[in-house]
Amino acid sequence: MRTNLLLGIALALGTGGMLVPDTAPAQSARAARAQIEGSMVLTGTVGIATDGSVDGFTLDHEDKVDADIRDLVKRTVAQWRFEPVLRDGKAVRAKSPVSLRLAAERADEQSMNVVLKSASFEEYDPKATDTVTFLRMNPPAYPQALFDARGAGVVNLLLRVARDGTVADVVAEQVNMHVVGSERQLKSLRALMERNALLAARKWTFRPPTTGSDVEEDHWTVRVPVQYSIEGSSARYGQWQAFIPGPKSRAPWLSEGEGEKDATDTLIAGGVYKVGGEDKGPRLLTPLG
């Protein structure tokens, strides 16, 4: 890969994204670096032919994406195969939004391994009537301590929405960090981000579904990613950043295995995504990797 691509990944993995101070022992710094991978989330639209093959792919904001990465993504998506999309029992051509997360790990001093780590085909539609949408979802406060540490990451929340649209219960499913530090530092930042996200979420209100198969449910579970970023997600599009997944928690109102999803790291922050039942979007048959 070209030098500028390697440099971009190195910046994501290097000391610029670390909380470990310069005075930390060398072994602590090495341990911190070992925790992370480079990460990049890209979005686009994929066309699906009647036989499930890919019939066109458009990558959003191509001008912000390195040419090597752009070519890798296009070559990979072109080889995908989907379960044919049916309408009234007949296979039809279709289009779907897609969100992709690329991961980069250092192979040696001169090269990186880049793989497509996860993909999802969900898109939040605030006008949808067959699922839960938000009425008021004020973002959490950005604590001064988190700002001072240049802390950044995403808190994936699971919410149980009552029939009147209020939040009956909420848990932080996972906190993924975009900075790296010692275990103690990361634990502290995760707790800070989680606490403020939960405080904000308890005041949110939602619009329950008025059409579709879920109308009569006594509650609905949704997933909402909350992003903490000093620069903002639009400024990071097409750039590598550090990624450290946090431990996962299960919502106490969900049964074992219910609501588990592999591609939560691709969901766009601020959207409301239904948990349980059939997944929205097409079913990809091709393994990622």
Positions of CATH 3.30.2420.10 in the chain: 133-274
The pLDDT tens digits of the residues spanning 140-189 come to 988 888 888 888 999 999 999 999 999 999 999 999 999 888 889 999 99
Written as six digits, the tokens of 74 are: 């296009």
| Contact in structure between 89 and 170 (CB atoms under 8 Å) | no
Give the three-state DSSP class for 289: coil
The pLDDT tens digits of the residues spanning 83-125 come to 999 999 999 999 999 999 999 877 776 777 889 999 999 889 9
Confidence of residue 1 (pLDDT cuts 50, 70, 90): very low
CA separation for the pair 116, 98 (Å, rounded)? 13
Whole-Å CA distances, 22 to 18, 26, 27, 32, 55: 10, 9, 12, 12, 51
DSSP 4-48: HHHHHHHHHHSGGGB-S-TTS-HHHHHHHHHT-EEEEEEEEEEEE
Confidence check: pLDDT of 16 > 50: no
DSSP 51-90: TSBEEEEEETTGGGS-HHHHHHHHHHHHT-BBPPPEETTE
At a CB cut-off of 8 Å and minimum separation 6, what does 210 contact?
129
Written as six digits, the tokens of 21 are: 């101070």
CA separation for the pair 111, 106 (Å, rounded)? 6
Residue with the two structure tokens 């996200």: 197
| Contact in structure between 20 and 244 (CB atoms under 8 Å) | no
The architecture CATH gives domain 133-274: 2-Layer Sandwich (3.30)
pTM score, two decimals?
Answer: 0.86
Confidence check: pLDDT of 214 > 60: yes
The pLDDT tens digits of the residues spanning 234-252 come to 557 899 988 999 999 999 9
Percent of the chain with pLDDT over 70: 84
Confidence of residue 281 (pLDDT cuts 50, 70, 90): confident
